[in-house]
Amino acid sequence: MATVELSLPDLAGLAPAQLRQCIRTGQWRHLTAGLAPGYTQANLAIVPRALAYDFLLFCQRNPKPCPLLEVLEAGDPEPREFAPGADIRTDLPRYRVYRHGVLAHEVDDITAYWRDDLVSFLLGCSFTFEHPLLDAGIGIRHIELGVNVPMFITNRACKAAGVFQGPMVVSMRPIPHTQVVQAVQITSRFPAVHGAPVHVGDPAALGIRDLQRPDFGDAVPMAPGEVPVFWACGVTPQAVIMQVQPELAITHAPGHMFISDRRDGELAIL
């Protein structure tokens, strides 16, 4: 039986569980931005149990780039905290399967790759703090332009843990100088999704030479009176995993996130 693909208007107003059902049945294989507004979306990283302790420790030591939302038991595909009943193997629209650090497959279901020793990590995503910024009247340039956020490899080393090490990757958003303090305050309330900025102002302090040449994502223009503000970025843990070249690692495809049952506001402290 052929599955009928849905279009974006069909999905408006659907709850996270309904959206995951559409994704699981192959009716939605596209980007998740804008789906289930107000509900937290998460990055996914899956590694074998033999690497899981070092990776968990890496996240504990580097909470800003690697904000853990949930770590599933080895072999368990159900995120019992963030989406009871969901299945991490089928409920994301697109996955990347890496063998020895090399992208081997891009698929919409990882059931065929599943093993009892795989440990799934759900990590916070900046989508969660961008909504409160927008609600406070702070514009997000890359959203306004419909492009990907610009990301940069910095000169700041993450704290190593076992086999994992590497530089911190940051995302940059231009913020009017009149709103910088508020942007710091708002994102500080969300330590589970990268939290406060790691740097405000001069890109050179992070070893970034040219804001118009990001390492990942798209360049965005800076307007007069705007300050570049840098947040730790979820690309960091993925880059660090790939450097170790594990025999198997699985991640979401960029922008194809896991849609959880938790509301963004639940992740706020204060």
Under the rule (CB under 8 A), what is the footprint of a copy of itself?
A: 52-53, 56-57, 60-61, 68, 71, 73, 81, 159, 161-162, 185, 188-189, 191, 195-196, 269-270
Nearest distance in Å: CB 57, a copy of itself: 6
Nearest distance in Å: CB 270, a copy of itself: 5
Q: What share of the chain is helix, strand, coil (3-state, %, to 5)?
A: 30, 25, 45
Nearest distance in Å: CB 63, a copy of itself: 10
User: 185: closest CA among 129, 236, 144?
Assistant: 129
- Please identify, using beta-carbon distances, which residue of 80 and 213 lies nearer to a copy of itself: 80
Report the distance separating Cα 148 and Cα 121, nearest Å.
23
Nearest distance in Å: CB 70, a copy of itself: 8
- Please identify, using beta-carbon distances, which residue of 208 and 240 lies nearer to a copy of itself: 240
- Please identify, using beta-carbon distances, which residue of 105 and 159 lies nearer to a copy of itself: 159
In DSSP terms, which residues pair with 94 in a beta bridge? none
Cβ(262)–Cβ(82) below 8 Å: yes
Query: What does the CA dihedral 115, 116, 118, 124 come to, rounded to 10 degrees?
Result: 110
- Please identify, using beta-carbon distances, which residue of 35 and 45 lies nearer to a copy of itself: 45
Nearest distance in Å: CB 80, a copy of itself: 9
- β-strand 102-107 against 95-99: which pairing, if any? antiparallel
Nearest distance in Å: CB 4, a copy of itself: 39
- Please identify, using beta-carbon distances, which residue of 6 and 88 lies nearer to a copy of itself: 88
Other C-beta atoms within 10 Å of 103: how many? 12
User: 263: closest CA among 158, 204, 193?
Assistant: 193
- Please identify, using beta-carbon distances, which residue of 21 and 188 lies nearer to a copy of itself: 188
Which residue in the block uniquely carries the two structure tokens 């995951």? 20
In DSSP terms, which residues pair with 107 in a beta bridge? 95
